[in-house]
Amino acid sequence: MHIVGWRKFLRKAVKSKEEAVMLEELKKQVYEANMELPRRGLVTYTWGNVSGIDREAGLFVIKPSGVDYELLTPDDMVVIDMEGNRVEGKYNPSSDTATHLELYKAFPELGGVVHTHSPWATSWAQAGRDIPCYGTTHADYMYGPIPCARNLTPEEINGEYEKNTGLVIIETFKNRNINPVYVPAVLCTNHGPFTWGKNAAEAVHNAVVLEEVAKMATLTELNNPKVQPAPDCIKEKHFMRKHGPNAYYGQPGK
């Protein structure tokens, strides 16, 4: 082999080895994130799924469809490319894979996506309502109300249903000018929540927070049916001290 060709070959071999190691690491992370859902009481049976993406490789890893959590292993995770093709894994991917794919394509900041039917958040989704910001627990994580995306039309449901679910979420954030980094959660009418984060673990963390916030909002309205959303200054103070350019909450570098 010519020396230049040989160098190119070597570089490619090293890169693909690094990529393979990274992919194995991502499978472990996504597996762990999936296992956190039943641990936190967010899923029943096999409902729910988590994915995580390697942007450089252009691949994401997602839970297989309908496999019991007790039987899951990191090797069972399914690898998908950005055209939605399965490139690795013996199982079919989660039935919601096309929704995850659309979210990754539209929102480049996303590193992980979660879908559950956790009951408090799902009850708001089924009611077709945004979750108003009633206090600091909400404001610590979400900058403003958690939006509820519109119903899918019969054509959208009978067509590419899971892809259209993703497109309706994206439409909601665009139309309402919501930054998905500032509001890492959405409710889908008649369905349930999706959350996301910079990786799969953070997306699960946000799913847990969303469930707590949904529960608190329900009980808040029960305690006072005339309650008003918290003032904007609460939203500004609590979100920005944690996530804004001059954040000071927590420990430096964490």
Q: Which of the residues are catalytic? A: 140, 249
Specify burial of residue 192 (Cβ count, 10 A radius: 0-12, 13-18, 19+): buried
**Torsion over CA of 176, 177, 183 and 184, rounded to 10 degrees?**
90
User: Do residues 208 and 42 make contact, with C-beta atoms less than 8 angstroms apart?
Assistant: yes
| Alpha-carbon distance values, 62 to 44, 112, 115, 168 (Å) | 18, 10, 11, 21
Going by the DSSP 8-state scheme, the letter that residue 146 receives in this structure is B
Q: Which residues pair with 185 in a beta bridge?
A: 195
Nearest residue to 45 (alpha-carbon basis) of 67, 72, 20, 19: 67
